[in-house]
Amino acid sequence: MQNLISTILVAVDFTAKSRNAVEMAVHIAARHKAEIILFHNITSHAIIDRTGLQVVGTETISDNYQKIQMLVKELELSLKAQFPTLKIKSIITNDRLLNGINGVIYSEKADLVICGSSGQQNFVQLVLGSLSYQILTDANCSVLLVPENCKKHSFDKILVPVRVLEDLADKIELSIAIAKRNKGIISLLGISNDEDVVKIKEAYQRAKTNIAIKSQDYDSQFLLTRNKATQISKFSEDDSADIIILNYKDEDSWKSFFSENFFKQIINYTDVPLLFLKNRKLSKNFSQDQIGLDITLPHPG
């Protein structure tokens, strides 16, 4: 069976939700025989004036880097002691957060980014205050959001909604791979409104056929509703789902900040890990600027 998850980047910031994400990462890596990259980014600050770019607090940044390097190395050694068969390494970058992440995704060919999430939160916090939100929207590969209160690390019940057509075959393939590694069962949920019901039902039937051909255990149900995110969240709770696998293209409406869109609802109202499938962008799609924040000062005259 093809291993669709071979390199995992897990974002580490030494918070409780970060520690939980690391724990999830090692369990997934063990099942998929994947390598783990412990990733931490140090954001420095700079002032641009007429003399050119200057990093603020160079000595402080150097001291901070050494402390972080020690903490990350301690974590790496601790995990290697607990999981001696796993390949684990650490990478620290000094960049804008997503520049650093996407640089590592590119150089290490990462398949999956795992980060901790605070779980339910209001939309202002989601948009303005969440690093996990930034990672989800801008990382150049698939992203798994792990709620802070999630303590189960196996995926016995895998909920796979069918509600859009883009990359559906890839999502089904990934779902089957995860199910087989976990000896789990797929819950295939066709979900549509009145306008899309014909094409979604056809895609749902194709997905059922593909899962059956791969000899993967599954159950299935089709719902007709306009409140798709609410129904998926409710179904995941009723079905005791351990993970929901979504295509990131499901979330094309996320930029409508002030509407009750699918993206907002599924994150805010679901308490299980959410895996958003993204096709990895192999191009170097990130800035080469190595400074975390630029403050431009006016030039005299």
Report the pLDDT averaged over residues 109-126: 72
H helices present in 36-128, as ranges: 58-82, 97-108, 123-128
Q: Indicate the range of 100-114, 117-131, 157-171, 229-243 predicted with least confidence.
A: 117-131
pLDDT grade for 10, boundaries at 50, 70 and 90 = very high
Q: How far apart are CA 92 and CA 194, in angstroms?
A: 49
The predicted pLDDT at position 254 comes to 41
Q: What pLDDT is attached to residue 159? A: 97
Return mean pLDDT, the chain. Answer: 83
CA nearest neighbour of 37 among 124, 104, 99: 104
Asked if the model's pLDDT at residue 294 lies above 50, the reply is no
Residues near 276 by beta carbon (within 8 Å), at least 6 away in sequence: 136, 142, 143, 144, 145, 246, 247, 248, 250, 251
Query: Within 13 Å of residue 157, how many CA atoms lie on the same side as its CB?
Result: 14
Would you say 64 and 55 are in contact if contact means Cβ atoms under 8 Å apart? no
pLDDT at residue 263 in the model: 67
Residue 280 scores a pLDDT above 80: no
Percentage of the chain surpassing pLDDT 70? Answer: 77
Question: Is residue 232 pLDDT above 80, yes or no?
Answer: yes
Mean pLDDT of 273-292: 65
In the chain, what percentage of residues exceed pLDDT 90?
Answer: 57
The correct CATH number of 151-272 out of 3.40.50.620, 3.20.19.10, 3.40.50.2000, 2.40.30.10 is 3.40.50.620
Distance CA 8, CA 25 (A): 7
* Residue with the two structure tokens 């412990």: 38
Half-sphere exposure of 255 (CA within 13 A, CB side): 3
In the predicted structure, residue 293 carries a pLDDT above the cut 60: no
On whether the CB atoms of residues 173 and 160 are closer than 8 A, the answer is no
**Is the model's pLDDT at 155 over the cut of 60?**
yes
Mean pLDDT confidence for 40-47: 75
Query: Containing H/E element for 16?
Result: helix 16-32
Going 103 to 106 to 109 to 114, the CA torsion angle's sign is positive
50: pLDDT strictly greater than 80: no
Q: Which CATH architecture group holds 1-149+276-301?
A: 3-Layer(aba) Sandwich (3.40)
Q: How confident is the model at residue 281 (pLDDT cuts 50, 70, 90)?
A: low
Q: What is the mean pLDDT of residues 105-110?
A: 95
Residue 172 · residue 207 · CB < 8 Å? yes
Domain with CATH 3.40.50.620 in the chain: 1-149+276-301, 151-272
Count CB atoms within 10 A of the CB of residue 251.
19
**For tokens 């255990």, what's the residue?**
217
Cα–Cα dist 208/190, whole Å: 10
Q: Helix count (H) and strand count (E) of the chain?
A: 9, 13
Give every CB contact of residue 43 below 8 A, 6+ residues apart in sequence. Answer: 94, 95, 96, 97, 292, 293
pLDDT at 54: 63
3 state DSSP class of 286: coil
Token pair of 97 as six digits? 């957060």
